[in-house]
Amino acid sequence: MIVWLILVGFTAAINLFVFIAVRGRWGRLVYILFVASFVGTVIGNLVAERLGVELLRIGSFNLLPASVAAQLAMVATTLLAAMAPPPAPHGDGPDA
C-alpha cells in the first residue's frame, strides 16, 4: 500500500510538471491541478485494474492509464476554471 501511494504521488507530480511545461505558465490553479492530477492518477489506475488493461505496468500499478487519466483530469479542471465567471471589479461607485 505504501509503495502504491508513493507511485501515485510521483506519477501525479510528474504529470503536473509535464502539464505545466506544455501549458507554459504557473498560476493560482497549480494547487487545484495537483489535486486533479492525484485524483486522476488514482482513478486511472483503478479503472485500468478493473478493465484488465496492462499497458506499462509497474508491479500492480498501471502507469500509462493512470497518466492518461491524470492529464484528462487536469485538462477538465483547466477548462472548468476558464468557464468560471470573472471576479467582480472593485470600483469606487455607489454600489461599492
pLDDT level of residue 4 (50, 70, 90 thresholds): confident
Encoded amino acid at 33, one letter: L
Residue 31 within a domain: yes
Average pLDDT of 34-62? 92
The verdict on residue 91 lying in a domain is no
Q: Is residue 95 part of a domain?
A: no
Give the chain's domain count. Answer: 1
- Measured torsion, CA atoms of residues 49, 13, 23, 77, in degrees rounded to the nearest 10: 60
Could you tell me if residue 26 is inside a domain? yes
CB atoms within 10 A of CB 72: 14
Structural domain contains residue 72: yes
Q: How far is CA 11 from the centre of its chain?
A: 10
For 37, the domain range is 2-82
pTM for this prediction: 0.83
Q: For residue 87, is it within any domain?
A: no
* pLDDT over threshold 60, residue 93: no
- Confidence bin at 94 (pLDDT 50/70/90): low
Which of 43, 64, 41, 42 has the alpha carbon at shortest distance from 53? 64
Packed helices 30-51 and 63-83: angle between N→C axes, nearest 10 degrees = 140
Q: Which helix (H) or strand (E) holds 57?
A: strand 57-58
